[in-house]
Amino acid sequence: MTCWYEGPLTAFDTETTGVDVETDRIVSAAVVVQDAPGSRPRVRRWLVNPGVPVPEGATAVHGLTDEHLQRNGRWPSPVVDEVVRELAEQSAAGRPLVVMNAPFDLTLLDRELRRHRASSLGQWFESVPLHVLDPRVLDKYLDRYRKGRRTLTDLCAHYEVELQGAHDAAADALASLELVRAIGRRFALRLERLSAAELHTLQAVWHAAQARGLQAWFARTGVEEAVDPAWPLRPELPAAAA
C-alpha cells in the first residue's frame, strides 16, 4: 500500500495584501497537483485585483503592485469560486491538500468566499471533507526540540527541498508539497501507518497544543498577543462577513 507521502497530493498557496485574515485580501493564488513523487506537477494560477490598495510592505514581499494587479488581475468573486471548486474537485478525487500554515491561507479563502460569494469554505466540504497536511505543524510536532525558525524557506533548507522564487504562490505551493513528502520520508516510522484523514485529526490536536505552549511563553515574557488554537480554519468573526 502506497503511503500518503508517496501518493498523489495537491497544494494550495496565496499571496496577499497583508497578514490579517479578517481584513486582508488575496492578490494571487495557485493550486499544484502532483500524482506521484518526481512526476510533472500540474499548476493552476490566479491573479486578483483585490479592489483595495496593496501596501508597499506587501508589494515588497511578493512583487505585485497596484498597477500590475489593476491591469492584469481579475475580480475576486469569480476567482475565489474557481479556487474553491478546484480544491473540492481534488478533494473528491482523494488527494490530500498541502497548505503551509493552513490557518492563514484557508481562513483567508473562507473570508473571501464570505465577502464575495455569500458562501464559506465549510459549505463546500460538508460531504467530501478536506484532508489537510500542514508542513509547519508536522515539523513542529515531529522535531519539536529543534531550535530555529520554521518558515517555508527555513524548512526547505532543513529538509533539502528546492524553493525557487519564494513568495510566488505556485513556487511556494510546490515547495510545500515537496516538503511534506520529505517530512514523511524522514519520519516514516512514525507516519507510515497513518492515513491522511487520521493525520488531519491529529494535526488539529498538535496545533492546539503548540498554540497553548506559545501562549504560555508569551505570558511569561510579557508579550500581549493572542494565539489562535484553531486548525486548519479559524472560526468566523462577525466582522469577517462585513
Quick check: 203 pLDDT over 80? Answer: yes
pLDDT tens for each residue of 144-184: 999 999 999 999 999 999 998 888 999 999 999 999 999 99
Q: Any alpha helices (H) in the chain, and if so which ranges?
A: 56-62, 66-72, 76-92, 102-117, 121-124, 135-142, 152-158, 169-186, 188-191, 196-221
Residue 70's domain comprises: 4-241
What is the residue-averaged pLDDT of the chain?
95
Distance, in Å, from the CA atom of 27 to the CA atom of 29, rounded to the nearest integer, reads 7
Distance, in Å, from the CA atom of 44 to the CA atom of 170, rounded to the nearest integer, reads 8
Look at the block and give the residue holding cell 510579557. 222
Number of domains in the chain: 1
- Residues 19 and 7 sit within 8 Å (Cβ to Cβ): no
**Residue at 175: amino acid letter:** A
* CATH number, residue 82: 3.30.420.10
pLDDT tens for each residue of 62-74: 999 999 999 999 9
pLDDT category of residue 241 using cuts at 50, 70 and 90: very low
For residue 236, what pLDDT is reported? 84
